[in-house]
Amino acid sequence: MSTTRSRNTKRVLRVLLFVGGFLILALIAAVIYFYTIGEFEQEDDTKTQFTCGCYLIDPDVVNDCGDPKKAISFTIKSVPSDQPCSVQCDTSILSQYVLKSSTPEDRYKSCSVRSIADARCQNMILTDQDGKLITGKINPEDSIKVEATFDKGDYNSYSFKINSESSEPDSKEGGKIFKTISDLGTADSLEIVATAQDNQGNSINSIICRRVIDIEREGGVGANALNASTERQSDGSTKISQVIVSIGQLQSENVSISFSFGTKYPVLLMNDGLNIEATKGTISISKANLYDGSNFASGESFAILDKHTGDLVITAEVFVDDLSVGTVSTEVTFLEQTDPILEEPEEEPEEDTSNFTVTKTGAPACVERVDGSNIATFTISVKNSAAQEEGITYIKDKLPLGFQYLADSSTINGSPVDDDTVVNITTVGSTQEIVWQQQTPWNVTPDGQILLVFKATAGAETLTGDNMNEVIINPVKIPSDPATLRAEAVVVVAQDCTNPPTTSDTTSPTTPATGILDSFTARIIIGAVLFITAWIVYTRPEGSKLSEMILNSEIYKDAQLTRYKITNPKKYFEEKIIREKKS
> Quick one: pLDDT band at residue 131, thresholds 50, 70, 90?
very high
pLDDT in tens, 7-31: 555 665 666 666 666 667 666 666 5
Does residue 57 sit in the same domain as residue 26? no
Does residue 174 sit in the same domain as residue 194? yes
Element (H, E) at 442: strand 442-444
Q: Among the three residues 163, 183, 215, which one is the final residue of a domain in this structure?
A: 215
Does residue 114 sit in the same domain as residue 146? yes
DSSP 344: P
Nearest to 494 by CA among 467, 455, 456: 467
Per-residue model confidence (pLDDT) at position 284: 85
pLDDT in tens, 305-342: 888 888 888 998 888 888 888 788 888 888 876 645 44
> Quick one: pLDDT band at residue 181, thresholds 50, 70, 90?
very high
Highest mean pLDDT among 192-196, 234-238, 338-342, 543-547: 192-196
Residue 194, pLDDT > 90, answer yes
Give the Cα separation of 255 and 221 in Å (integer).
Answer: 13
Torsion of CA 182, 187, 190, 191, to 10 degrees: -130
User: Could you tell me which residue, 185 or 351, shows the higher pLDDT?
Assistant: 185
With contact defined as beta carbons under 8 Å apart, do 276 and 314 qualify?
no
Per-residue model confidence (pLDDT) at position 507: 42
Q: Is residue 343 part of a domain?
A: no
| Residue 446, preceding peptide bond in cis (omega within 30° of 0) | no
Q: Please compute the mean of the pLDDT values over residues 181-198 and round it to a whole number.
A: 84
Average pLDDT, the chain: 80
Give the Cα separation of 266 and 293 in Å (integer).
Answer: 14
Residue 551, pLDDT > 70, answer no
Does residue 503 sit in the same domain as residue 527? no
Per-residue model confidence (pLDDT) at position 440: 82
DSSP 397: E
Tallying the residues shown for the chain, one arrives at 583
| Residues of the domain holding 242 | 223-334
Give the Cα separation of 463 and 495 in Å (integer).
Answer: 10
User: Could you tell me which residue, 347 or 86, shows the higher pLDDT?
Assistant: 86
Q: List, in sequence order, the alpha helices (H) in 501-553.
A: 503-510, 520-539, 541-552
Q: Is 263 helix (H, G, I), strand (E, B) or coil?
A: strand
Q: Please compute the mean of the pLDDT values over residues 223-252 and round it to a whole number.
A: 79
Does residue 234 sit in the same domain as residue 376? no
Does residue 391 sit in the same domain as residue 471? yes
Does residue 307 sit in the same domain as residue 446? no
Report how many domains make up the chain: 4
Highest mean pLDDT among 49-58, 78-87, 145-154, 385-394: 145-154
Q: Please compute the mean of the pLDDT values over residues 250-255 and round it to a whole number.
A: 78
- Range in 129-138, 185-194, 388-397 with the lowest mean pLDDT: 185-194
Residue 38, pLDDT > 60, answer no
Q: Is residue 260 part of a domain?
A: yes
Backbone φ, ψ for residue 18 (5° rounding): -60, -45
Beta bridge partner(s), residue 392: 442, 475
Q: Among the three residues 168, 196, 215, which one is the final residue of a domain in this structure?
A: 215
Does residue 385 sit in the same domain as residue 493? yes
Q: Is residue 345 part of a domain?
A: no
CATH number at residue 183: 2.60.40.10
Per-residue model confidence (pLDDT) at position 344: 47
Per-residue model confidence (pLDDT) at position 144: 94
Does residue 506 sit in the same domain as residue 521? no
Q: Is residue 115 part of a domain?
A: yes
Per-residue model confidence (pLDDT) at position 342: 45
**Residue % of the chain over a pLDDT of 90:** 20
DSSP assignment string, 61-87: T-SSSS-GGG-S-EEEEEEETTS----
Per-residue model confidence (pLDDT) at position 189: 77
CA–chain centroid gap for 447, Å, is 26
User: Could you tell me which residue, 285 or 343, shows the higher pLDDT?
Assistant: 285
> Quick one: pLDDT band at residue 71, thresholds 50, 70, 90?
very high
Q: Is residue 125 part of a domain?
A: yes
Q: Please compute the mean of the pLDDT values over residues 538-554 and round it to a whole number.
A: 68
pTM confidence score: 0.38
Nearest to 76 by CA among 50, 47, 96: 50
pLDDT in tens, 460-514: 888 888 888 889 898 888 888 888 888 888 889 888 887 765 544 444 444 444 4
Beta carbons within 10 angstroms of residue 571's beta carbon: 14
User: Could you tell me which residue, 412 or 560, shows the higher pLDDT?
Assistant: 412
CATH number at residue 465: 2.60.40.1510
Residue 297, pLDDT > 80, answer yes
Per-residue model confidence (pLDDT) at position 45: 42
Q: Among the three residues 458, 488, 510, which one is the final residue of a domain in this structure?
A: 510
Per-residue model confidence (pLDDT) at position 434: 92
Percent helix / strand / coil, the chain, rounded to 5: 25, 40, 35
Nearest to 118 by CA among 402, 455, 435, 442: 435
Q: Please compute the mean of the pLDDT values over residues 208-218 and round it to a whole number.
A: 82
Q: Is residue 557 part of a domain?
A: yes
Instruction: Calculate the alpha carbon distances from 227 to 242, 246, 526, 566 in Å.
Output: 8, 8, 78, 87
Question: What's the one-letter identity of residue 107?
Answer: R
Does residue 534 sit in the same domain as residue 564? yes
Q: Is 519 helix (H, G, I), strand (E, B) or coil?
A: coil
Does residue 364 sit in the same domain as residue 445? yes
Q: Is residue 351 part of a domain?
A: no
With contact defined as beta carbons under 8 Å apart, do 215 and 143 qualify?
no
Q: Is residue 43 part of a domain?
A: no
User: Could you tell me which residue, 94 or 18, shows the higher pLDDT?
Assistant: 94
Does residue 200 sit in the same domain as residue 228? no
